[in-house]
Amino acid sequence: MDSKYFHAANHKASVLLLLITFTAAVAAAGSDEGGTLGASYIFGDSLVDAGNNNFLPTLSKANIKPNGIDFQPSGGKPTGRYTNGRTIGDIVGEELGQQHYAVPFLDPNSTGQVILYGVNYASGGGGIMNATGQIFVNRLSMDIQIDYFNITRKQIDKLLGASKAREHVMKKSIFSITIGSNDFLNNYLLPVLSIGARVSQSPDAFVDDLISHLRSQLTRLYQLDARKFIIGNVGPIGCIPYQRTINQLSENECVALPNKLALQYNAKLKDLVAELNDNLPGATFVHANVYDLVLELITNYDKYGFKTASKACCGNGGQYAGIIPCGPTSSLCEDRDKHVFWDPYHPSEAANVIIAKQLLQGDPRYVSPMGLKELRDLDL
């Protein structure tokens, strides 16, 4: 991959490369000529975590082999990404002309000029609710991620001055939010931890709670000058290898309850996106229909060049290698680009590429009211 992506094993080389290319990159970001994205600020869970959990004492980590085996900037070494290569956030940033991958906020290198290209706040196990993911001991909830962006926002003021900083955040930055799956998988549907909540809250009440919290969180980002948003809904979580394995389903079956809950949440999320577009002046909220996009991949996987959408490439246990997360002792498939799922929970890079390209191109079935290239070029 092009050397401008500075995620390299040797931090000194990374910093040197960054300094050399910085002047030209800022010029490109500042002029926005040729469709260059100024910055990408990424919030969410393990689907887009680029290494924040490496710096947390947590049970949810992906900094072990063979994770990252196809991530070229690191030479195939694990970076903390929960897939074999790039995340959707990485691919979208590249395609939009971002100069560097968004650096994880907790990485010691996430200081100075590098934050002007974007920062990744996502955390494996994180959710909309602060209680979500407590089984992992530590993770960054959406509230904490926004607290961290508040720190970044003040740093941007110091780097650029208040006026240019505001323009950078409002006009040249995209805020990407991929969250919600853990609120079901590692909260509401997790009997050990959430039995109390499930007794006291109906699915409707829990979904309403999620939407209420997310509304406040997105409004808070708006108050910190975020204007261009893409909000992903929850995918078909009943179809992941983990769910298929523990429920002993056939290859074409998905678990009904998690998918039903996801659809319930997704319907209200779509309404929330419309509401925010109406009520927050100058902001554009793009809705990403990840559920239908991933379900299409799972249902018609052969059409997209995959040979399986049920079995994890890296994992152990059961029919679909779906019980034990990916690690050094896992069985590993040889044809990684032929699997929709990398591990029991997360898509492969090959699947992420297809998902990202649909979001970029603007197919109205999957992304509305516009695709990400149009959002980037929107002159607010």
The single-letter code of the amino acid at 313 is C
Please report whether residue 155 resides in a domain: yes
Q: Could you report the per-residue pLDDT of 338-355, keeping only the tens digit for each? A: 999 999 999 999 999 999
- How would residue 22 be classed by pLDDT, with cut points 50, 70 and 90? very low
51: which residues sit within 8 A by CB, 6+ positions away?
Answer: 63, 79, 80, 81, 104, 106, 107, 120
Answer whether 122's CB lies under 8 Å from 176's CB: no
Annotated active-site residue 339? The verdict is: no
216 is catalytic: no
The CATH number of residue 169's host domain is 3.40.50.1110
pLDDT range class, residue 33, cuts 50, 70, 90: very low
Domain assignment of residue 82, yes or no: yes
- 311 falls within a domain: yes
Predicted pLDDT of residue 201? 81
Q: Which domain holds residue 161?
A: 39-377
Alpha carbons 33 and 28: distance in angstroms, whole number: 6
In a domain, 10, yes or no: no
pTM value is: 0.89
Cis check: omega of the bond before 66, within 30 degrees of 0: yes
Active-site position among 107, 123, 346, 348: 346
Please give the average per-residue pLDDT across 364-380, as a whole number. Answer: 94
Q: Count structural domains, the chain.
A: 1
The residue annotated as part of the active site, out of 40, 46, 60, 110, is: 46
The token pair at 46 is: 């393990």
46 given a catalytic annotation: yes
Q: Is residue 181 part of a domain?
A: yes
Task: Kindly report, residue by residue over 142-175, the tens digit of the pLDDT.
Answer: 999 999 999 999 999 999 999 999 999 999 999 9
Over range 38-53, report the average pLDDT.
Answer: 97
CB 54 within 8 A of CB 63: yes
One of 45, 49, 183, 343 is an active-site residue; which one? Answer: 343
Q: pLDDT tens digits for 218-263? A: 999 999 999 999 999 999 999 999 999 999 999 999 999 999 999 9
Q: Is 211 inside any structural domain?
A: yes
Assess if residue 27 is contained within a domain: no
